[in-house]
Amino acid sequence: MTFLHCTAALAGMAVLLPAANPPAETPPRLVTLNIAAVDNHGNPVGDLASADFQVLENEKPQQIASFRHGDTRMGRPAPLGPHEFSNRAAADAGHATVILFDLLNEHLDARGPAWNELIHALQPVETSQGVYLYILTMNGRLFAVRGLPDPEKEPEPVETVPWTRQIKPMLDDAMKTVSMVRPTEIWIDERIRLTYNALGSLAARMAGMPGRKNIVWITHGVPIALSPAVTGTEWIDYTPLLRQLSERLDRANISIYPVQQIPPGMAMPGTADAQHSGLSSEDTLQEFARYTGGRANGTNDIREAIHQAMNDVRTGYQLGYYPAPQNWDGKFHKVRVACARKGVRVQVKEGYYAWPEQPFSEQRQKESLEAALSASLDAGEIGLRVTVSTPEAGGAKLNVWVDPADVLLAQQAGEYAGELKFMLAELGTDGSARGSAVAAMHLRFNQQQRDEILKNGITFEENLKLPQSTQKIRLAILDGTSSAVGSITVPVDGKK
């Protein structure tokens, strides 16, 4: 596929460049925070503005440089013109919610009730696209009941009926397969490390997926430390392992939603008996939620935790600010976000790791775009509308409109800047997807230009030379600041 021409809607404001050629001046680093805002009943609050939030780093107020409200629970798009297509009609939300049913650390008395509650929580789910289920077996392995899509295999099929309607027979079969007594030689230290390895492996599988991701971890949990009464020698502190894994999860835009299951008669978290036995794991689960921006479910309600995770990943706010340059020291920096509106509580990670290097590398961006190109459904985090025409044989002209509300534009020195990365793929008759190189559009607006962009959208056109075997074209666009992704598939002949 050949890029021939691309122009922005407002001349001089956006220039298409190869991804390897960034702007001459490297802008300051932006910290972005994903925020879920809910009312007293736990329902999303969707009408907040930037002025409603205050951000403090180490209790010092920070100036909000970027703000957007994202909601992938879209309704039907506005009427389309001739040969025009939208990714907001039947798009995959561009997110994932993974449920991890932890048999390795779940007590026998709690396993049955949790299993039943999980079935009742998933059966009524209206759309299960982007929802996946794994079991952490009693020997520390991940078993996929409904696994994440494998980019090396066929794309995930489009569902006409949610797979969760069949959750009971699916989970029954899975439990029969993995049912085994945990080997007695697995000591508590080994069990803890197997758990961390499994969570890390799951995070690695999710990292290449575009958009926000949540893990609902149904478990009793693992202790944050073992006392000499358990080890027989000295304390073992697992905090370094927890923070290292939290760092990996944060880089991959994954939040943990733990749901702790306590069997009847067992010592409750926080009691002396629980702490000295080494079985107190509430601290571990709370820390994972704090460091990754998830919610620790205080009621142990599996249905509510799944509902919260799916809701939070689909709608929320994203804001950004510029820390001082010397802050990028590789350490953890505490962040607090407050909302001025009464009756609204916010959920956000309690800090960030100030990595000296950019966490969202060029390779990771490329992988996210490739994942969007190979997915079964279009991604809808960034709204797109495309009008296609075929001015000549073997060619196609795309007029692309990008929803500016879905692009994070950061304010710096009186200007608004952002970056869009995109790839195109030819979809052949055999279902193959042949992708282009990654291209970058560097956006820089003054106040007047930004106002016009917000009113009219970001638009550009692309002229393509295509092989005769090409039936459809898929365009994937990634926001280089927020990592949000949108994709759209259009037929070459422009017919609906």
pLDDT at 268: 46
Q: Note the pLDDT of residue 275.
A: 41
**CA Rg value for the chain:** 24
Strand partners, 97: 131, 214
- Show the tokens assigned to 246: 């939290």
Over residues 66-80, the mean pLDDT reads 68
Q: Which two tokens stand for residue 395?
A: 């060619």
Token digits for 277?
């036995």
What residues are paired with 237 via a beta bridge?
A: 225
What average pLDDT does the segment 307-333 reach? 85
Confidence of residue 1 (pLDDT cuts 50, 70, 90): very low
Q: Per the structure block, which two tokens stand in for 292?
A: 């990754």
pLDDT at residue 388 is higher than 90: no
Superfamily of domain 96-314: von Willebrand factor, type A domain (3.40.50.410)
Q: What is the pLDDT of residue 264?
A: 58
Spatial distance between the Cα atoms of 166 and 331, rounded to a whole number of angstroms: 46
User: CB of 169 within 8 A of CB of 163?
Assistant: no
Confidence (pLDDT) at 263 = 66
Asked if 111 contacts 150 with a C-beta cutoff of 8 angstroms, the reply is no
Confidence (pLDDT) at 94: 55
Going by pLDDT thresholds of 50, 70 and 90, the confidence category of residue 435 is confident
* pLDDT for the residue numbered 347: 84
What mean pLDDT comes out for the span 425-446?
78
Above pLDDT 70, what percent of the chain?
A: 80
At residue 217, the pLDDT reads 96
Averaged pLDDT, 331-342: 92
Rounded Cα distance between 496 and 494, Å, is: 7
> Does residue 404 register a pLDDT over 50?
yes
- Per the CB < 8 A criterion, the answer to whether 480 and 440 are in contact is yes
Question: H helices within 328-446, ranges in order?
Answer: 362-374
Question: Collapsing DSSP states into helix, strand and coil, what is residue 239?
Answer: helix
pLDDT at 24: 44
**Residue 277, pLDDT score:** 38
Q: Where does residue 472 rank: exposed (0-12), middle (13-18), buried (19+ CB within 10 A)?
A: middle
**Torsion over CA: 408, 412, 416, 418 (sign):** negative
Residue indicated by tokens 């080890």: 231
- pLDDT digit string, tens, across residues 200-243: 999 888 876 766 789 999 999 999 998 888 888 888 999 889 98
Residue 491, strand partner residues: 472
The rounded distance, in Å, linking the Cα atoms of 473 and 466 is: 10
pLDDT digits (tens, 9 = 90+) for 235-278: 899 988 998 898 888 877 889 999 998 765 554 444 433 443 33
CA distances from residue 61 to 206, 226, 310, 322, 323 in whole angstroms, order as listed: 34, 38, 31, 11, 11
Q: What pTM did the predictor assign?
A: 0.71
Tell me: pLDDT of 440 over 60: yes
- Per-residue pLDDT tens digits for 159-196: 678 899 999 999 999 998 887 655 556 788 999 999 99
Q: Is the pLDDT of residue 11 over 60?
A: no
Where in the chain are the domains? 2-28+84-89+361-491, 96-314
